[in-house]
Amino acid sequence: MKKIFLLCAYIFGGYFAFGQEKELKTANVFLSCTENISIPYTIETENSVNATIYRLKIQLPDSVHWKEMRLEWEYPYHVKDESIPKQDLNNISDKFFVNGFQSWTESRERNAAEKIPDLSKIAKPLMGMYGDYHFAQTKHQKGEIWGWNYGYIRQETDKMLLFASLNETKGYTQITFDVINHKIILRKELEKAVWKKGDYVAMEILVANGKDKECFDAYFEKGKFPKSTLSPQTGWTSWYNYYTNISQSIIMENVAAFAKEKTPIQYVQIDDGWQEGVGDWLRVNEKFPLGMRYLAQAIHCQNYQAGLWLAPFICERNSEIFRNHSHWILKDEKGRKVKAGFNPGWSGEFYALDFYNPEVRTYLKGVFQTILEEWEFDMVKLDFLYGVAIIPQKGKSRGEVMAEAMQFLRECCGEKKILGCGVPLNAAMLTTDFCRIGPDIGLKWGTMLKLFHNREGISTEYGIQNATFRHQLNGHGFLNDPDVYNLRSKNNKLTQNQKYTLYLTNQIFGGLCFTSDNISEYTAAEMHLYNAQFPFLAKNILSVYPLGQHIQCTKFQIGEYKYLTISNLSKEVVSFAFPEGNTPYVYFDSAQNRPIILHSPAGAAENISLAPYETRLFLQKSNEKIAVLYDNIHLFAGSEIEKVEISANNEVKISFLPNVKNSGTIWLLVPTAGTYLFHNKEVMAEKMGDWGFLLKLTE
């Protein structure tokens, strides 16, 4: 069959806003398939305030094989400062965000001069399947920045130009920012896909321009990604402390520790290590003598919900499935078993299951029936899901297989909760309740895997980046799971600052916030820090911006309270001028054991210095006459306080929201000097510059 380019046409005029300019909108559509037919197409546009949707509609007079296919769309794009010579990528200030292939893939804003890393040759046979290394059509070169499903260009701190595919059910959309050739390429991944005769919306792309929230709101609304009805949740998972060395007694011990402290978490989730072999989900190993139903019940007895890990679309070499049901394993065109990766913690190589084999589906339905109905688990963490769609199958693209497989899982689980993991995010947006949006965190900061350029490897550093740069997805379709934080000192090599930075990052951006610590082993200080997260409240992210290369700032709100965190993500001490000098912010000075107000509306901003990996939290000073200046009861001072009242006789009454776990000190700013009464004790207000008078109240 001849491969011909059927169409290459300039289409539609008009304007779309980019940065400050209006630019003539011209786009190229490239359509080609292996059949010698012409494919008529039309383009429909739909405008709203901040966004335009472009729909590429095609009519297939016959069925087509997109074998050597091209279904591509190009947009012209110019860097902000067009005077920069084309090849001088280092001087381009535009930032490019591209969404990595799946949950674990590191994703962040990048510079034009960065290359998307390619997995090293030696690692490809073992880890190549985790990502897009085996099928993405691109060059790993500077100035060519690509990812999947959505991506944006940031030319100004608080504005973006967002490109997002609204429909991925027929195939993934690869988005490439080709800085050198001044274009943005939107390509459907359709290797080996066959489309029957008929009418299709082949691509549906949203282009939004404006503030982050406006752009993402347009994306979620037009993409029909439902707002999650769940409030953010907390819990525990066994993985990042015990790994596969779990047992019934370890789970019971941790449940007892939470019960003893009456910790108001929602989930206790048992991770990998309970099953006989990966794939053998109906065979519980001998470390769980009373079975899984017993544990789910024990968890329920303490009013927690029970979660269980499994990887439904893979099986390891050392599994009953591999030995006795080899026809369940997915085969490639040459009849070879499709490998889904290599895990030294299991029996080495593991394989993908053939999701289109009815026996596999029947088996999986039975597995879910057992886990959810018989054993009564409330939630399943479904992992290594990318495995189902490593190769295209049955005339369906990888993306189509992935979308169908996720739909199938949703049907199997009914109303029970799904935490997706190792999954392309778009397929999870319509089918899961929670989804991992970053790699596994480690018990130290960096990762050895950087050597292999593995974008899906274990890394605390990448975990923090992903939590930050994929934060917009939280609460649309699924709640973001940034992976766990650990505060313990035993079996944890993170420094104090690193632990706190990871903890705060997860607390601010996470919709599902788990630890793996055995809280019965905490020191008093660790327990106080852990309990300081309660009540765990929804955060409204206002803005995220960098200060130089390694400093990350986040502004967010909880109820009426507004906060700013500044994180030093480098191993050096950093000093900088406080970036928000126009507004009064309060931080806690531990040396002086009191809150300090920073404010420099006219003069030079105060200098801030942060230790390696340190995060500092600032609370915006309220304008109320009586204001909580700071407290050490909650991680986010003030958010746990429901009401402060001062009666005519200067008696102070403070009421708290439910689930406050710590007691401590509250520093209250009051307008008048004098003696106050708190819990029947007299407290003198101390003058605090021109701000008013400070009351130190101990609960």
Residues that bind ligand 9PG (CB under 6 A): 239, 271-272, 309, 341, 343, 383, 421, 440
Nearer to ligand 9PG, 170 or 417 (CB): 417
The residues that bridge with 478 in the sheet, in sequence order, are 476
Nearer to ligand 9PG, 73 or 309 (CB): 309
Nearer to ligand 9PG, 272 or 640 (CB): 272
> How far is 105 from 488, CA to CA, in rounded Å?
27
Nearer to ligand 9PG, 226 or 345 (CB): 345
Q: Closest distance between ligand 9PG and the C-beta of residue 457, in Å? A: 8
> How far is 186 from 149, CA to CA, in rounded Å?
9
Nearer to ligand 9PG, 274 or 355 (CB): 274
Nearer to ligand 9PG, 71 or 314 (CB): 314
646: Cβ–Cβ under 8 A, 6 or more apart, which residues?
Answer: 626, 652, 653, 670, 676
Q: Closest distance between ligand 9PG and the C-beta of residue 455, in Å? A: 12
Pairing of strands 417-420, 434-436: parallel
Q: Closest distance between ligand 9PG and the C-beta of residue 345, in Å? A: 6
Evaluate whether 177 touches 152 at the Cβ level (below 8 Å): no
> How far is 402 from 196, CA to CA, in rounded Å?
19
Classify burial at 19, counting beta carbons within 10 Å of its beta carbon; exposed 0-12, middle 13-18, buried 19 or more.
middle
Q: Closest distance between ligand 9PG and the C-beta of residue 398, in Å? A: 19
Compute the CA torsion angle 287, 291, 293, 298 (nearest 10 deg).
-50
Q: Closest distance between ligand 9PG and the C-beta of residue 456, in Å? A: 7
Element (H, E) at 268: strand 267-270
Q: Closest distance between ligand 9PG and the C-beta of residue 422, in Å? A: 6
Token pair recorded at residue 428: 């999870």
Q: Which phi and psi (to 5°) does residue 389 adopt?
A: -125, 35
Q: Closest distance between ligand 9PG and the C-beta of residue 233, in Å? A: 16
Angle between helices 398-413 and 358-368 (to 10 degrees): 40
Nearer to ligand 9PG, 435 or 487 (CB): 435
Q: Closest distance between ligand 9PG and the C-beta of residue 506, in Å? A: 14
Nearer to ligand 9PG, 400 or 440 (CB): 440
Classify burial at 429, counting beta carbons within 10 Å of its beta carbon; exposed 0-12, middle 13-18, buried 19 or more.
buried
Angle at 226 between CA 223 and CA 228, to 5 degrees: 140
Q: Closest distance between ligand 9PG and the C-beta of residue 544, in Å? A: 24
Nearer to ligand 9PG, 239 or 363 (CB): 239
Q: Closest distance between ligand 9PG and the C-beta of residue 307, in Å? A: 11
Q: Closest distance between ligand 9PG and the C-beta of residue 421, in Å? A: 5
The residues that bridge with 60 in the sheet, in sequence order, are 198
The residues that bridge with 154 in the sheet, in sequence order, are 95
Nearer to ligand 9PG, 309 or 363 (CB): 309
Q: Closest distance between ligand 9PG and the C-beta of residue 432, in Å? A: 14
Nearer to ligand 9PG, 106 or 271 (CB): 271
Place of tokens 């003030």: 638
Q: Closest distance between ligand 9PG and the C-beta of residue 362, in Å? A: 25
494: Cβ–Cβ under 8 A, 6 or more apart, which residues?
Answer: 443, 444, 445, 460, 486, 502
HEC profile for 638-686? CCCEEEEEECCCCEEEEEECCCCCCCCEEEEEECCCCEEEECCEEEECE
Nearer to ligand 9PG, 271 or 354 (CB): 271
Q: Which phi and psi (to 5°) does residue 161 adopt?
A: -115, 110
Angle at 410 between CA 404 and CA 415, to 5 degrees: 165
Token pair recorded at residue 50: 């901040």
CA-wise closest residue to 373 among 292, 317, 444, 316? 292
183: Cβ–Cβ under 8 A, 6 or more apart, which residues?
Answer: 74, 75, 76, 77
Nearer to ligand 9PG, 419 or 694 (CB): 419
